Each structure stands twice: as structure tokens, then as C-alpha cells.
A and B are shown apart, each in its own frame.
Chain A
Amino acid sequence: MKAPALSFSKAPVKFRMPTSANLVPIRLDIEIDGQRFKDAFTWNPSDPDSEVVVFAKRTVKDLKLPPAFIAQIASSIQTQLAEFRSYEGQDMYSGEKIVPIKLDLRVNHTLIKDQFLWDMNNFESDPEEFARTFCKDLGIEDPEVGPAIAFAIREQLYEIATQSVASARESRISKKGRRGTEHATSSKSSGSALDLVKLFGYRSSVVRKRKDWDVYEPIVDHLSNEEVDALEAREDRNIR
């Protein structure tokens, strides 16, 4: 048994998605002439860029969208990919990082709310597998729910990863060479890091108190058509 974190200091890790498959979450939301195209999927950044245009063309053809979409889709994807790549050379913060991930999404008729912890240093994690288990355990039959969950998780992980790059840069600039738990306290989502030290220490238990169980339990609602319409209307209103 080793003492807690103070003795650790890992070499900085290069930026990447903290999952076993380094996939970029891409979100599209394009509107041309009143027609709206929304989509969300994962992209492999090691694919050649020529694939982007091919993909855009195929999408437009399959969904019978006006050809104006092709350019927009392609450019949107490329922008996001470029952004991803801009982070790639840089270091991520490498201390303990177990972050809360929240799910709050609606896919067709299913509404999902959930919360759980994710270790940013666990590079073998797999959002897709999590989504699979989730759907299986809760008996969700809609095949679109799983990928949506996985995507949501990836998005959040991506955001946290970019934040960690930013914070790593800051810390290098401001406090050279200092790492460890002090940094953990100052980084984002530090609340959970604080708790971690307490939770994973000697005195306490990693079993949550019963009153907290509800917070971390997934909630799955199956909506009726009217409710779906209502929600959609509200979402549109919010966006406008």
C-alpha cells in the first residue's frame, strides 16, 4: 500500500482523448434556407482529410439534402478536426483526475439523466462499452440511444481534456515544476479531486452513503409523443 498522491509525479501526457479509441466528437448543426441538419458522431482523426468530403457528399446524398450542404458539412467537420489537432502537440495535466460526467439527453422517445465518475487518466476507458452496458441493463431498445450516450460522454471528456491542456499550460507558465495535489485543487472540477483524497484515504469508504445513491442512479424516461413534441418545441425556442 502506498501513501497518497504526494509521492507521485508522472511525466506529462500528450493530449489525446482519454479513451481507448482516440476519436473526436463532431457535432453538426447547419441551417440553409430553412432546412436544418443536426448530427453528432465520432470521427477518427487519423483518417485522411479526403474522407471528410467523401463523407459529406455521402451524407447529403443519403438524406437527400440540397447540395449546398456538402460544403458546409465538410467545412464544419474540418474546423473541428483542426481544433482537435491544435491541441495534440501539447501536454495535458497528468495528476489525479477523476471527473464527474453528467448525462442529460433526449433521444427520440427516451430521456436520460445520469451521473457518474470518469477517470481522465484511464486510457483504456471506453464510452461505447459503457453505453452498451447501460442500454442492456436498463433494457433500452432504441438503437440510437447507445451511440448518443457515448457521444455525450466523449464530448464532455473532450472538453475536460482541452481544459486540462489549458490549465497545464497555465501552471507551467505560472508555477514552474510544481505538480501534485496542490494543482489538483486548483484545476477545474477540483471539487471531486478534493473528495477523492478524502474518499480514497484510509479512514473512509468508497461505498457511497445510501442517501447519495439516488443522485448517481440513472433515470430513464420513456416519453409519449406529445411530450416529445413539447420538448422539441421548447428546445427550438431556446436556441432561437
Chain B
Amino acid sequence: MELTQRDPSSKPLRPDEPELDLYTIPSQSSWFLWDEIHDIERTELRDFFDGSSFTRTPKVYREYRDFIINKYREEPTRRLTFTDVRKSLVGDISLLHKVFKFLEKWGLINFSANLGNSNNVSSSSSSSLVVVEDEEDKARVKVEGTIPNAVRVGASPNSPKPISAPPVVGDSSGDAVESGFKLPPLASYSDVFGDLVKQKGLVCGNCGGNCDSGHYKYTKGEFIICINCFKNQNYGENRSMDEFKQIGHAENSSNQGAMWTEAETLLLLESVMKHGDDWELVAQNFQNKSKLDCIAKLIELPFGELMLGSSHRYGNFGGLNGNKNGANQIQLSSSELHESLKTEGQSHEQINEKEQNGDAVDEGPPSKKQCITSLSDAGGSLMKQVALISTMVGPEITAAAAEAAVTALCDENSLPRETFDVDEDYTSNGICSPTTSFEQERVLQDEDSKLMERSTQSETQDTSLKRDDIPLTVRIRASIGTALGAAAARSKLLADQEDREIENLVAIIMETQMKKLHQKIKHFDDLELIMEKEYTEIEDLKDSLLAERIEVLQRAVNAGICRWRDHFAVKS
């Protein structure tokens, strides 16, 4: 059972109630019991217990108290007012008010209601300990305050120092935000990348790496190896090539989604204008392009985000991609890029350089040019943000997140893993080096430039375009996914750590208390022992004294001394 500072009597219920609803009361009020009247009640509401009037008896008090508390619990979120209850109770109104205030002060009513209110305008002066438990046991918020004013409770547990829980937003000590919270998944990440992130990757039985773009399943049992292993003929023990069956993504689909002639682009734009968000219809116009391809292409266009009515906010991407596209078309710029890479500086400077290069391009539609300039700032800031986020995490996390994002993106775009595999060496190299995001970006740029260099030597412009477009697009998304995922992972770790620490400390506190109590008990036991011994001693002394007296008397009598006189003398 998890160690929390939970109030053990946060369930003061009648024993016959079938359902157990949880009501929260402060832990100082844990003395409260339905079946009894506690001394605190007797002291504070003396009028009922001094027998001064037949209208004020303990029975009457209990009826008042039980009625008010039950009335409150009918609707714990609503603040019960005195006016609500006084119409239902017979008796002096001032006395009723006193009972009401007493219950409110001790948090037996209006406790959760006060928590729920952002401004605590209650007439009670208590700002007390709160332990709130969600119904589903999701999380625990611990908000602690002070013992209610003007209450001297002898037996109350020591109130620990106030610990403020992270989600509490309140201006005074009495204010608190209610109920549990749980670490939300990074909404931004799941929104943007929800469909891209793959939940679980298959792990190759041989080399232990992810096999996502395709794997080979052993027909005679449960065994999977990735493509690499299959190619390298590492099948594992006693298995031969025949026995593996290929499962996974085809490797020949790389060319499918990437070819977009101008005519096709035009057609795409027209159909989007016509059909809006209905991608099924749009995709129908293209035989060899799937829905996703259309969307991706649309995004890549500089003004693509304007067409898109959906929640995908790839606007920055569009700009960047347009940017990069423009840059790619310059074969000459590759060398300049190289130079820019060598320069130290922020990543956005590199982009700026590229933009300058882009500007120098006369070819290309004017809209693209405009896009480049207008979105330069956005591009810069996005990369900067990605850079910043990546700095906050360690290299292993970054690497893992990068892997996940890359594989996910492969799935989405039906790209062969090779596109990334080729660069993996560079990737891993880059990442293993001291991780500043700056390095990482540089590495990416490195890959880009190397790719481009390679592409200049490859066959056609188109294919080179094709190879570079998608990877770059995808790469950028990969990097952002990385960063956000990494940040999420880290924050989760931190939260977990804090939880553990808190548990630890609580355990220590409880132990110390126990020890203290034990010591006290021992002390009292010792005292008792001593007392008993002394008692027996005194008894003995008494007996001996008595014996002596008798002896003296006896002697006196024997000696024949006059009784009366000596009697007096002996006695006194």
C-alpha cells in the first residue's frame, strides 16, 4: 500500500451503509464518530451538556449534528449555508448557529466545498489539512495548512509543515485547488504527432534492434528478425533462410508518393479548393498518390497551410520545407552550405544563410520566394525551440526519441528505412558527440549537405529532389518529435522521482514518530516498575514499624510501668 499521508478516518460512515462514499475531512477532525460525542464537542458546545435545560441535551445535540452533516453530504460540492438547515431544525436559532459554526470550523461540513471554491469566503477561520483522494485513486494532492484557530487540541497529531503541492494555485493558505491531478501526456505532442507515433516497435530477436520497416517471421515459431539480420544471414540458431517469411512494409513503395509533377501539383490544388478537407475525393484524382501523399505534398507547398483547414499546423514546416526546397534546387549552394556549417553560431543563422542562397535563386515561382523571406523568422524560432528542448535532455533519451520518431515517420511516408539508415552512422556519430542541440542540428545539416552532394552526382534532378524533399521534411518533423518526446520523458521522470522522495520522507517521519512513542512507553514502564518496588518497600517498612511498636508496648507492660502514662507517651 502506498504510503500517503492519508487520513485514516476519511470514511466516517454508518456501519450499515452499503456503499462507501468517500468524504473528506481534515485530519484534525479524525476524532469524529457518528456513534459518539467526543470531548471536544462537549467542551465547545457546553450548553448541551450541562443539563441546564431540557431543550439542550446530548440527544438534541446529536440530532442537530447528524442532520447537518448528512444534509451537507447529500451534496458535498455545494456549500451548505446555515439558512438551509435552520429551517429544518427546531430550537434556539443562536444555538443552532453555534453548532453549525462548530461543524464548519472543524471541517465536518463544507470542507470539500471550500476546496472547490477559488475564493474561500467562508465565515469559518479554519484553513486546515486536506487530504483529497480521487475516486479512481489516480493521484493524491497534498495541501497542508495550520490547525484551526483558537483550538487547543491535546491529542492532535503534530501538524507537519506546509508542503505545497505543485498544482495548487491559491492566494491565501486557505485556498486550494481541488482534487487530484495526473501528469497529462504532453498534449501538444500527441496532437501534432498523435497519428505518427507508433506505440510499440518490434524488436528483432537476433540483434535486439527495432525492426520497423519490415521484419521476417519465423514460420515455425515465435521469432522475428529484422531486415538487416536477414540480409546478413544471422538467423539465429538452427534456422535457415527458407523458414522466414517476410512481413512488413514493401520496399518498393518509395517511389510512389514522391513524384509530383507540376501538372499534378496544380491538379492537387484545384481539387483541394473544390473538396476542401475531403481527402478521399482529392486522392481519387490521383492514381498513384495516396491520401497521405496528397496531404504531405500540400503541406510542403509554401502556401499549403492556407489550404489546409485541419488542425495540423504544419505551417512552419511548409515554410521551412519551401525554404529547403529552394535551397535544394541550388546545386551550387552545396558548397556554400558546407561553409556555413563550419561557422559557429546558432542554427537559425545557418538557415538565414540558406535563405540568402534561396533569394539568389531566380528560378522558382515568386510565391516560394516570398514564403522564404516571410517565414524566415518562424523557421528560426522553431528550430531554436527544438534546439532548446533537446538541450534539456540527455543524449540517450534524445537518441531513443529520435529513433522512435524516425521509425514512425518511415511508416507514415512509406519510406524505406535506408533513407535514414544511410545517415544513421552520421546520426549516431553526431549524437554521441557532446550533445548540444546545436551539434545535432549541425549533424542534420551535415547529412543534408552530404545527401545533396551525393545527389548532385546521382542520375536525375527529380530523383534527387525526391530523395531530399521527403527526408528533410520528415527529418524536421523527426527532430521536433524527438525534442518534444524527450522533454515529456524527462518531466515524467522528474515527477516520479519527486513522488518517490516524498514517500521516503513520509516513511521516515512515521518511523521517527513510532520510535518516539516506543521510547515513551518504555519510560513509563520503567517508572511503573520503580513505583512498585518503592511500594513494597514502604509496606515492609510499615510492617516493621508496627512490629517495633508492639514490642515496645510489650516490654513496657512486662516491666510493670504504669500503663496510662506510658501509653500516652508511646502513642505520641
Spell out A's residues near B (CB within 8 Å): 1-5, 8, 96, 98, 101, 116-119, 121-122, 124-126, 129-130, 133-134, 136-138, 195-197, 199-202, 205-208, 210, 213-218
Contacts and interface: CB of A to CB of B under 8 A. Distances in A.
A130 B93 contact: yes
Q: How large is the interface on B (under 10, 10 to 19, 20 to 34, 35 or more residues)?
A: 20 to 34
A2 B51 contact: yes
A119 B55 contact: yes
Contacts of B55: 96, 98, 119, 196, 200
A125 B96 CA distance: 11
Interface of B: 47, 51-55, 57-60, 63-64, 67, 81-84, 86-95, 97, 123
Given A1-B58, A116-B86, A213-B87, A126 B94 contact: yes
Contacts of B67: 207
Nearest to B86: A116
Contacts of A130: 93-94, 97
Q: Max chain A CB contacts within 10 Å: which of B60, B82, B84, B86?
A: B86
A1 B59 contact: yes
Nearest to B122: A136
A136 B79 CA distance: 12
Contacts of A119: 55, 91-92, 94-95
B53 A117 contact: no
A159 B54 CA distance: 25
A96 B54 contact: yes
Contacts of B58: 1
B82 A206 contact: no
Nearest to B92: A119
Contacts, number: 102
Contact of A125 (B63, B83, B94): B94
Contact of A138 (B47, B54, B83): B83
A63 to B, nearest CB: 34
A98 to B, nearest CB: 6
A16 to B, nearest CB: 16
Contact of A197 (B54, B86, B123): B54
A218 B54 contact: no
A122 B95 contact: yes
Given A2-B51, A98-B91, A200-B55, A206 B64 contact: yes
A201 B90 CA distance: 12
B87 A4 contact: no
Contacts of A200: 54-55, 57, 60
Contact of B91 (A5, A133, A206): A206
A96 B90 contact: no
A4 B57 CA distance: 10
Given A98-B91, A134-B83, A199-B90, A121 B53 contact: yes
A117 B92 contact: yes
B93 A117 contact: yes
Given A4-B54, A116-B86, 18 more contacts: A96-B55, A98-B55, A98-B92, A117-B92, A118-B92, A118-B93, A118-B94, A122-B92, A122-B94, A137-B82, A196-B54, A196-B55, A200-B57, A202-B59, A207-B63, A207-B67, A215-B87, A216-B88
A193 B59 CA distance: 19
A44 B91 CA distance: 28
A117 B91 contact: yes
A96 B93 contact: no
A137 to B, nearest CB: 4
Contacts of A216: 86-88
A132 B57 CA distance: 28
Nearest to A197: B54
Nearest to A20: B94
Contact of A96 (B53, B60, B123): B53
A207 B123 CA distance: 25
B79 to A, nearest CB: 9
30 contacts: A1-B58, A2-B54, A8-B53, A8-B54, A96-B53, A96-B55, A98-B55, A117-B91, A117-B92, A119-B94, A122-B94, A125-B93, A129-B94, A130-B93, A130-B97, A133-B82, A136-B123, A137-B84, A199-B90, A200-B55, A200-B60, A201-B54, A205-B63, A206-B60, A206-B63, A207-B90, A213-B87, A213-B88, A216-B86, A218-B87
Given A8-B53, A196-B55, A197-B54, A206 B95 contact: no
Contact of A137 (B52, B53, B81, B91): B81
